[in-house]
Amino acid sequence: MTAQIVQSLVRTTRTRFSGVYETFDAAEKAAPRTKPVGHNTPAAPNMYVYAIGSLVPSDYPVMFWAAQFISATKMVLDIGGNIGISFYAYRSRLPFPDDLRWLVYDVPEVANGGEELAATKFRESSTGLHFARSLEEARACDFLLASGSLQYIDEPLDALLDRIQARPEHIIINRTPVLEGEPFITLQDNEELYSPYKVFNRAEFIDPLLKLGYELVDSWIVHELACYVRFRPDKVVPHYSGFYLRQRG
C-alpha cells in the first residue's frame, strides 16, 4: 500500500459528524462560525490536491466497470468531482479515447480552483478535463460518475438526471453513505470546513433510479469510509457503498 493511499485512509478518520437535522438549512444554521460552511469557499479546491493521481480500494470497482465502456464514451459528467480527482486518478489507468470530454460539475469556487490547477500545476495531464458551474452545461453525457459527492447535494439524483437533456447510459456512484434504516442529515466537520451531510436509505436511494429505466448491475462495500454521529449511537454507517447502474435495453 503506497504512502498516498495510507495518507488518504488516515484522513477519513479525522472527519467528525455531529447532530441530526431535518434539513440542510437547519444543519447549516447549527454550524459554528469558526470556519466556512459548505464547499463554495476558496479553501475547498486545495483540500484534496495531495491525493491527485492516487487510488484507494474503492476506486477499483469503479475502474473495473468503467473499463467495459469508457473506450466508447464521448462525455463523462462527474458530479461533485472537485478539482477532477477521479479524472487524474483514472486517466492513466483506463483506456480513455483521445476525444473524451470529462466535465466536472461543482460549486463555482471549486470549479474555479480546478480550472486554475488544470491550467498551471497539472497542465500536462489535464487534457480533456473541463468544469461546469451549472448542470445544464452538461446537456448530454454517456457516463455519469458521482464519487463521494451526493451526500453534499440536497437535490436527489433522479431530479438531477431530469435536468440533463439525454440521460447517461451508465451511472457509477461511489463512496456514498447508505443504510437500511431511516435516512438523516448531519453536520460534517472535516477540519477545513463544515458541511451539511446526507445519509441515504438504500431503497429510497436506488428505487427512483430503477423507475427511470436503470438496472442495478453491481454494488460494493466501501470499507475505508464510515459515519459515526457524536453522541448518537443509533446514527451509524459502518461502511459506505458503491453502485453501478445501466439503462435497461
Residue 218: give its domain's CATH number. 3.40.50.150
* Nearest partner of 97 among 111, 118, 76, 120, judged by Cα: 76
Rounded Cα distance, 171 and 229, in Å: 29
Decide if 172 contacts 65 (C-beta within 8 A).
Answer: yes
Number of independent structural domains in the chain: 1
Q: What are phi and psi of 215, to 5 degrees?
A: -115, 145
Cell of 89: 486518478
SS3 68: coil
Residue 14 has what pLDDT?
52
Residue 91 has what pLDDT?
96
Q: Which domain holds residue 153?
A: 3-247
Positions of the chain with pLDDT lower than 50, given as ranges: 1-13
The pLDDT tens digits for 70-92 are: 999 999 999 999 999 999 999 99
Which residues touch 129 (CB under 8 Å, ≥6 apart)? Answer: 84, 87, 102, 104, 114, 118
Residue 70 has what pLDDT?
98
